[in-house]
Amino acid sequence: MIITNHRTIVHMDIDAFFVSVSRLINPKLNGIPVLVGSTSDRGVVAACSYEARTFGIHSAMPMKLARRLCPHATVIRGDYEEYSKRSDEVTQIVRENAPVYERSSIDEFYLDITGMDRFFGCYKWATELRQKIRKETHLPISFGMSENKTVSKVATDEAKPDNQMQINYGEEKSFLGPLSVRKIPMIGEKTSQLLFNMGIRKVYTLQEMPVELMQNVLGENGTTIWKKANGIDNSPVQPYSEQKSISTEETFDQDTIDVGRMKDILIAMTEKLCFRLRSENKLTSCINVKIRYSNFDTHTMRRHIPYTSSDHTLIACVKELFEKLYNRRMLIRLVGVRLTHLVGGSQQINMFEDSEEMINLYQAMDKLRLLYGEDKIQRAVSLNFSLRGFNPFNGINSSPLAMEKNDDEIAFIPAIKSMNKLFNLKANAKMKSNDTAPVNIEALIDIYEYLLMITPPQVINNEAMTFKQWIHKKYDHIQAVRSKPHVTLINFLSSDIEEETLLYKIDEVAKFHSPFDVQLRNFNHFRKHTVYIDIKNFAPIVSLVRSLHATLNLPASRSSFSWHPHMTIAKGLKEDKFDKVMSAFQSKQFDASFIADKMVLLKRDGQFSKYEIVKEFELKN
């Protein structure tokens, strides 16, 4: 048995999942072309059998075209409740056997079995797990095994149907080389057409291209694609937790029996929860509705449904559950909606008779929400309702509406404390790596603190620095001069392996925002510890922060967004120094303006380290 120090990642994929489950229910479908989706011509193909694929049919194809390509194909609507049930059966087997696993979609899993070769043999272990799944569920499943997620996924696709493949360490490039560039994850139809026009059809050609050229053609995305083509992918397997959920409740100012009003609020809740599902690339398979009567008698009702994130599907379910639940003519004190059994993945196309128009509508609405805020476009019944973004467990307000309520820097303190705590944990981990016991260096992921900000021109920078230097000289406050004047947009923690993705997302936000005027006016303060220069017209900055908040999807415990933008002069002042500074500043004026045409991203590897510039992002719209 050969023992290595490299990662071992397994990608498992149930072959033609919808079709395979449908064939278990109806064996007459075996061996014939099968299309799962809408029975009308307005829908699209959700899944198709391998027999149908030989006619050029693929998922997301308009059903009308698919029927034209294969007139004798059998079209079924499918039993989506059964699909969810079968997916859970496979998940249960994986959970019971795999040390670390990630459920990336309803029919796909990533497993990190690094170190299993010390006891059992990774390939043998994965083979026996696949055989167990096939035996207990009767579903065909394939897997690929390699050193990272990208190569394993491609290996799975090459092994299908109902087979397995191992790519040894060091053979990643030679394995990927002969394949079409379309095989590489992240390369879709438009990107592949662009590469074809450049004469790049095979992966080996892409491997030989200079990474600088790929970056010039495709931006930061080009670097990621080049790395994947060369078999480089350091992304970790993210452990999946089925207990995760999102929910919201509304307690009425006065108890009510207004059924119409309660239904409107439930619809608004569901619509906004659905948007958050899609923005986080998640699906739900269980919906809960809760009501509390005026006597505090609380009732809930739930329903298991096929995995979805569609407004119309979940709203209909919520309304039906509420009608069944509210069967007593008593005053209602509270209503709520909770979505559970969340998994990562995008909405399965046409799962519930979705038309192309409906899919395009969702995409257009979500794009507007991401750019301008989740409350900018919504159903009429949702106009007077907003989800609360405040988390009572960490004290952070992540709602886009927080900028209307947060007038104190105290809201950001929990996030900063969390960042310092994580840096301490990182330092402890590195100290332990010096002990005599062997440590897996790859497991020690580097965590950095990032700061995304707007910097003023040198003239304004010098003027603001005179005030910072005055405070330091007059009151011996070193923190005043430790940082240059700037307007913070986000302060967050992230690992180095996620940096490329973050750069790409920030660049995408920058493309949709134009340069804007920043007007700095006079001095203000947070409580009795921070002095800053106020920004008169902060709406454009908050709009930019909103877009970043929605696009980056950063954990609230590791990030703080500047919903009240300002330019800090001194923070961490003791009360006696603060009173003296503010008394002196009452006679001082600050009046300046500049055009903000770029964002600057900095990072550091510890709370006492110096920041380094990562990249500048031009506002290009």
Alpha carbon distance 145, 109 (integer Å): 12
Radius of gyration, CA atoms only, the chain: 27
Nearest C-alpha neighbor of 107 from the set 244, 236, 12: 12
Dihedral (Cα; 31, 36, 40, 44), 10-degree rounding:
-120
Residue 171 has pLDDT above 90, yes or no: yes
- What mean pLDDT comes out for the span 77-98? 84
Q: What residues does 249 pair with on adjacent strands?
A: 336
pLDDT score of 563 more than 90 = no
User: So what's the pLDDT on residue 1?
Assistant: 44
404-618 adopts what CATH topology?
A: Cyclic Phosphodiesterase; Chain: A, (3.90.1140)
pLDDT value for 390: 34
Rounded Cα distance, 17 and 48, in Å: 9
Q: How confident is the model at residue 337 (pLDDT cuts 50, 70, 90)?
A: very high
Rounded distance between C-alpha atoms, residue 421 and residue 417, angstroms: 6
Please write the tens of the pLDDT for every residue from 419-444: 444 444 444 444 444 444 443 433 44
Cα 513–Cα 517–Cα 519 angle in degrees, nearest 5: 140
What pLDDT does 420 receive?
43
Fold of 1-161: Alpha-Beta Plaits (3.30.70)
**pLDDT for residue 418:** 37
Pairing state between β 141-146 and 164-166: parallel
Q: Where are the alpha helices (DSSP H) in 433-498?
A: 458-475
Q: Are 356 and 304 in contact (CB under 8 A)?
A: no
The predicted model gives 276-289 an average pLDDT of 84
Region 371-390 average pLDDT: 60
Choose the most confident range, by mean pLDDT, from 101-115, 166-180, 432-446: 166-180
Q: What is the mean pLDDT of residues 102-125?
A: 84
Question: Can you give the residue ranges of every domain in the chain?
Answer: 1-161, 170-240, 246-387, 404-618
The 8 Å CB, 24+ separation contacts for 179-187 are 179/154, 179/203, 181/205, 181/206, 181/229, 183/154, 183/157, 183/158, 184/150, 184/154, 184/225, 184/228, 184/229, 185/150, 185/153, 185/154, 185/228, 186/221, 186/224, 186/225, 186/228, 187/225
**127 contacts 13 by C-beta, under 8 angstroms:** no
Q: Assign 504 a pLDDT band (cuts: 50, 70, 90).
A: confident
Q: Per DSSP, which regions of 128-273 are E strands?
A: 141-146, 164-166, 246-256
Band (67; pLDDT cuts 50, 70, 90):
very high
The pLDDT score that the predictor gives to residue 370 is 62
| Highest mean pLDDT (candidates 78-82, 108-112, 431-435, 571-575) | 108-112
With bands split at pLDDT 50, 70 and 90, how would you rate the model's confidence at 15? very high
At 444 the pLDDT is 43
Tell me the pLDDT of the chain averaged across its residues.
Answer: 79
Fold held by 170-240 = DNA polymerase; domain 1 (1.10.150)
Q: What is the pLDDT of residues 54-63, one digit of tens each?
A: 999 988 788 8
* Counts for the chain of helices (H) and strands (E), in that order: 19, 24
Is 609 a residue whose pLDDT tops 90?
no
Assess whether pLDDT exceeds 50 at residue 406. Answer: no
Which one has a higher pLDDT value, 473 or 287? 287
Distances, alpha carbon 330 to alpha carbons 68, 246, 291, 337, in Å: 57, 28, 11, 20
Cα gap 290→326, rounded to integer Å? 10
Its pTM stands at: 0.46
Q: 51, 102, 108, 220: which is the annotated catalytic residue?
A: 108
Q: Catalytic: 108? A: yes
Q: CATH fold of 246-387, please?
A: Dna Ligase; domain 1 (3.30.1490)
Give yes or no for residue 343 having a pLDDT over 70.
yes
The pLDDT of residue 434 is 46
- In sequence order, the 6+-apart residues with CB closer than 8 A to the CB of 193 are none
Predicted pLDDT of residue 381: 66
- Give mean pLDDT, residues 524-552: 80
